[in-house]
A and B are shown apart, each in its own frame.
Chain A
Amino acid sequence: MPPVTLTIEALTLFAGAVAGLLGAMLGIGGGVFLVPFLNLLLGFPYQAAAAISLTTVIATSSSVSAARSGRHLINMRLGMTLEVATAAGALLGGITAQEMSQSTLRILFSIVTALTAVAMIRRMTRRNVILDPDVSPGRLGGRFHEDESGGWVTYQVKRLPLGLAASFIAGNISSLLGIGGGVVKVPVLNAWCGVPMRAAAATSAFMIGVTATAGAVIYYGQGRLIPVLAAAAVVGVQIGSWGGIHLAARAKAKWLKLLMAIVLFVVSATMLWRGLR
């Protein structure tokens, strides 16, 4: 493991800022950028990179959800129901991650990164389906005001067991790989559970704080978290995502998404190559 010098600290802070900026602009967590940076470029063990990334995921989830609260985008009841599954998955993933080999984790990461890239390309042209605003949201559904169309969107939650299963897997890979796991949950909630894209993304981001905490506490307790680098990464990500939120309102995200999807494919291929070697 490389020594934690001032240069390494500064690089981590800078990488965190870039990850936070891109994450906020693309609507994904910064973990997919931060983990390969720490593991492949700086040479920290996979578990150390995952632990640092998880702390930034908690900070991002907390600040994003705080900013969104009061706008009904977060479906709290659905989130708290699915958290039962994500937290259990994260606890299990956190236990197994301590024993897994670096090459297995890298190959898993490569697969999930490729999926993230595919999801990002598909989202470029997707719009929310117009739903009947008079339908009853039921016990777990929700209702929010959509700024783009200017109308109210009401939805019911369907196929809850499927949502719970996806959440369990999301929690599991979150702890194993050091990412939020939104890439697994959001498409399932949107495509199969009837949750509109924006509500699915906001609810997932809300849940991720608890999910990542279940994993991060294990790494922290086991002494796998390097406190100084976690501090640098969290501060960096907070600065970056603050900037990203302000930029995202102006920038056209479409081409950025395509560009970043290509970057993610490259990251995925590199991780796979390094994992198989």
Chain B
Amino acid sequence: MKYIATFLILFVNWLIWSGMFDSFHMSLGVISCAIVTFMSHDLFFASGQFHFRYITEFIRFVLYIPWLLYQIILSNIHVAYLVLHPKMPIEPSIITFKTTLKKDMSLVAFANSITLTPGTITMDIQDGKYFVIHCISRKVADDLLSGEMERKIARIFGEE
């Protein structure tokens, strides 16, 4: 099963990047995707097994992206305001908070979402529980501590 899934993902990518749909290039794609699948089938799915819930998780993650983009735009405007303000009203601080997320995948998604939204950087995750975050101002720290993003991530990966 995981062979087929890896092969399909690779082949869709091949089609998008090559953009040639004649039989010669298609068969080249099939051959190279088959070789890569054979060599790296154990890399793609960390648990070593393909589950159908990966598909629903992927769809829910795609649905989460517009909200993330909206947050990114909002906080980017906030950071642009901080940069251009003559007095530069920044209050850098480092906060630590405990997360309820457990799976590796959701921790990575949460950490990357935090770093993507301007004004907050994930500095460290200690013992897979405590997030150490560098915040540029009071406002972004409050936004983060409201926990909305964490709840959304938990819903995506079915941890509620």
Q: Do A and B bind?
A: no
Spell out B's residues near A (CB within 8 Å). none
Spell out A's residues near B (CB within 8 Å). none
